[in-house]
Homo-oligomer: A and B are copies of this chain.
Amino acid sequence: MLSRRNPQLNRHGELIHLLSIEGLPRATLVQILDAASSFLMEGREVKKVPLLRGKSVFNLFFENSTRTRTTFEIAAKRLSADVLNLDIARSSTAKGESLLDTIANLSAMHADMFVVRHSESGAPYLIAQHCAPHVHVVNAGDGRHAHPTQGLLDMYTIRHYKQDFTQLSVAIVGDIVHSRVARSDIHALTTLGVPDIRAVGPRTLVPGDLREMGVRVCHDMEEGIRDADVIIMLRLQNERMSGAMLPSAGEFFRSFGLTADKLAKAKPDAIVMHPGPINRGVEIDSSVADGQHSVILPQVTFGIAVRMAVMSIIAGNDAR
């Protein structure tokens, strides 16, 4: 999918789009995390800043996600941008206009940034390659491919609680095969130097080729999270799975749902993460979701700061 030069970087190596964490240098990831840090006061409050004043950010959600759209809308408004939410399903694309014609028109309307979610992997790349040079693109999730801002906010969260990436054991648990979050997390963790990454789940939901990415594949939960510093639980994407892959939510919970008992196998100061929305009693027990190891709600707060960081950095870099 990547052309010879990384289409996310200009010829000075500066970030102009955020399409995928794959292929981004470590320094770029650290730059984003550091910028996000500057938007948070006392670790949680976000101040409004004028960095994108006069800029127009278009939310193009070809696949609906109120939650993710809202986080981008808040982040853009905190940067003082004008935000336009396009109801794509009701727009010209429904009248048969092609994706690229829609993008060309929106570019001509003086868009400065597109935040794109699409059910097809690669759509944000296509848009980035064809939009006007003054427009920046952020991938807000494309098919099973990538969800880079989620990956970055996960890295922010890990750094916030664990500081040093180079000593960590991180377990990613659940429906990895359907998860763009898992894919983005694995690329980010690898780039940031995490030595021990584990993909944990049933055979049907954990692709074997993860081993080629240096990931340890475990089909046993207790083995998978033993002595882990970080446990990233994934949402069971009921709506994306064929019934054949999984016997039942109850059976999944017994084997791979995170309970206090299973969590006891991890390090005593392990943190528990989840991209949300959580399925209580399916992939995570309520006592864990609401317990002292859980950093699920701080993830949400950090997500606003990380999205502000991404938007402000790419808006400041020239495509040429």
Contacts and interface: CB of A to CB of B under 8 A. Distances in A.
Interface string A261-299: 000000000000000111110000000000000000111
A38 to B, nearest CB: 16
B101 A71 contact: no
Interface stretch (A18-26, A104-112, A186-194): A104-112
A77 B56 contact: yes
A212 interface: no
Contacts of A277: 92, 95-97, 101-102, 105
Interface stretch (A2-10, A82-90, A120-128, A159-167): A82-90
B279 A96 contact: yes
Nearest to A98: B280
A74 B56 contact: yes
Contacts of A298: 108
A304 interface: yes
Given A47-B54, A54-B47, A70 B109 contact: yes
Contact of A48 (B54, B78, B303): B54
A142 interface: no
A227 interface: no
Of A64, A82, A279, A299, the most chain B CB neighbours within 10 A belong to A82
A301 to B, nearest CB: 5
A242 interface: no
Given A67-B105, A77-B56, A86-B66, A110 B278 contact: no
A109 B71 contact: yes
A73 interface: yes
Interface string A211-255: 000000000000000000000000000010000000000000000
Contacts of A109: 70-71, 74, 300-301, 303-304
Contacts of A54: 47-48
Q: Top 8 A-B pairs ranked by shortest CB distance?
A: A66-B91, A108-B300, A48-B54, A97-B277, A92-B277, A77-B82, A108-B297, A108-B301
